[in-house]
Amino acid sequence: MRCAAACAQEWNAAIGSIYAGIATPTEAASLGVVGALIQAAASKTPTLNMLREAVKGTMRTTVMIVLLMIYPGIAMWLPGQFH
């Protein structure tokens, strides 16, 4: 239950800042990350390995999104090279 309350607080802070016009979605995401780090530090559970895994997962997702944006351009460019 404690986790649910913490997650609700993070969600309210991020979404609330967008609806209030205080932050853009990108800024709200960073607000959520900072809040999550503060809560993790307060509970004294974070480890360097947990941070490393979180960064690896974030990078994996970012690379997939970037590739999804690049591949259509390659797919449009490539057939024109064989005329």
pLDDT (tens digit per residue) in 17-40 = 889 998 888 888 888 888 878 887
d(CA 31, CA 14): 6
Q: Is the pLDDT reported for residue 56 higher than 80? A: yes
Give the separation between CA 12 and CA 8, rounded to whole angstroms. 6
DSSP string, 43-76: HT---HHHHHHHHHHHHHHHHHHHHHHHHHHHHH
Tell me if 17 sits within 8 A of 28, measured CB to CB: yes
What is the predicted pLDDT for the residue at 4?
77
Grouping H, G, I as helix, E, B as strand and the rest as coil, residue 82 is: coil
